């Protein structure tokens, strides 16, 4: 029997209009009423996840933000992994070689050197206003406090993202997690920060085995989480590579794929 569910948000739990269907909310409510935790796992910052946690009444469960770089329980961080200031400075220098906009996320704050259309698009899903300032000054401040961002997100056109990813991987190799969350977004994190590591960390705290959990997602940053879970589910709108990594493929995010998968896998409904 499955004893916990880990859900990606954008492209999975959320429809394209960033809402959760009433049918899916009802199914999740039934699960939590039965004592099965439903844990949101997202690339979003914590404050951009919180409204959905409240909507689903799952605030007593952990929240995995920033692709596993920041995990919160009862409004207190229980895990975080950072990119140290020296490496952040190096990444910032390398990114100047390419056309892009980069956002830097630390716990509940986010920063950028410019406020452009990429930032404004992200601001629409954020409850916290971005802090725009020279990044070199910010990195120096982080160095003084021996900290750094939980995540950097590079935004550009698809071709540039491919080039940036290849370039950064050639320099940083296995020292960073570098992968796209969608064709125009590249996520950069400490190797300890990933959705799969977050699931592993939380099920150890909960005393569960990986065979007892379901993980559901739709994109490249969900791939290892889907592989790790006892039942890895890919959305119908996921790329073929993600579907191939899954144990089960459900319907799309706009066609109640989450609800359909949960009802089939937990209650045997067709």
Would residue 8 show up in a list of annotated catalytic residues for this protein?
Answer: yes
Tokens 């992994």 sit at which residue? 81
Express each pLDDT in 108-155 by its tens digit. Answer: 889 999 999 999 999 987 778 999 999 999 999 999 999 999 999 999
Distance CA 63, CA 201 (A): 12
One domain for residues 71 and 204: yes
pLDDT at 92: 96
Instruction: Look up the domain containing 159 and give its range.
Output: 85-189
Chosen domain end from 172, 189, 206: 189
The enclosing H or E element of 111 equals strand 109-112
Distance CA 115, CA 94 (A): 20
One domain for residues 128 and 212: no
Chosen domain end from 157, 189, 221: 189
Express each pLDDT in 17-58 by its tens digit. Answer: 999 999 999 999 999 999 999 999 998 889 889 999 999 999
One domain for residues 111 and 197: no
pLDDT at 1: 86
Lowest mean pLDDT among 105-114, 161-170, 229-238: 105-114
One domain for residues 203 and 71: yes
Rounded to the nearest 5 degrees, what angle is found at the Cα of 70, between the Cα atoms of 205 and 142? 135
Average pLDDT, the chain: 95
One domain for residues 74 and 96: no
Q: Which of 8, 218, 222, 256 is catalytic?
A: 8
């Amino acid at each position: 029997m499955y004893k916990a569910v880990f859900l990606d948000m954008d492209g999975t739990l959320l429809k394209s209009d960033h809402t959760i269907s009433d049918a899916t909310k009802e199914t999740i409510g039934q699960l939590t009423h039965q004592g099965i935790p439903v844990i949101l796992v997202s690339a979003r910052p914590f404050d951009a996840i919180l409204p959905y946690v409240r909507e689903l009444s799952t605030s007593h469960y952990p929240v995995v933000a920033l692709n596993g770089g920041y995990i919160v329980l009862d409004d207190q961080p229980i895990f975080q992994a950072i990119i140290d200031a020296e490496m952040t400075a190096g990444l910032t220098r390398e990114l100047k070689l390419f056309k892009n906009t980069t956002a830097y996320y630390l716990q509940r704050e986010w920063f950028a050197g410019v406020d452009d259309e990429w930032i404004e698009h992200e601001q629409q899903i954020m409850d916290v206003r971005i802090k725009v300032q020279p990044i070199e000054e910010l990195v120096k401040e982080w160095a003084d406090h021996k900290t750094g961002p939980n995540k950097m997100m590079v935004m550009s056109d698809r071709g540039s993202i491919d080039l940036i990813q290849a370039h950064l991987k050639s320099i940083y190799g296995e020292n960073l997690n570098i992968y796209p969350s969608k064709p125009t977004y590249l996520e950069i994190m400490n190797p300890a920060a990933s959705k799969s590591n977050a699931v592993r960390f939380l099920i150890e705290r909960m005393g569960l085995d990986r065979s007892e959990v379901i993980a559901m997602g739709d994109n490249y940053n969900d791939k290892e989480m889907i592989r790790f879970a006892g039942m890895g589910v890919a959305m119908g709108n996921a790329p073929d590579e993600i579907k191939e990594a899954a144990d089960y493929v459900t319907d799309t995010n706009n066609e109640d794929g989450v609800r359909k998968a949960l009802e089939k896998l937990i209650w045997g409904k067709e």
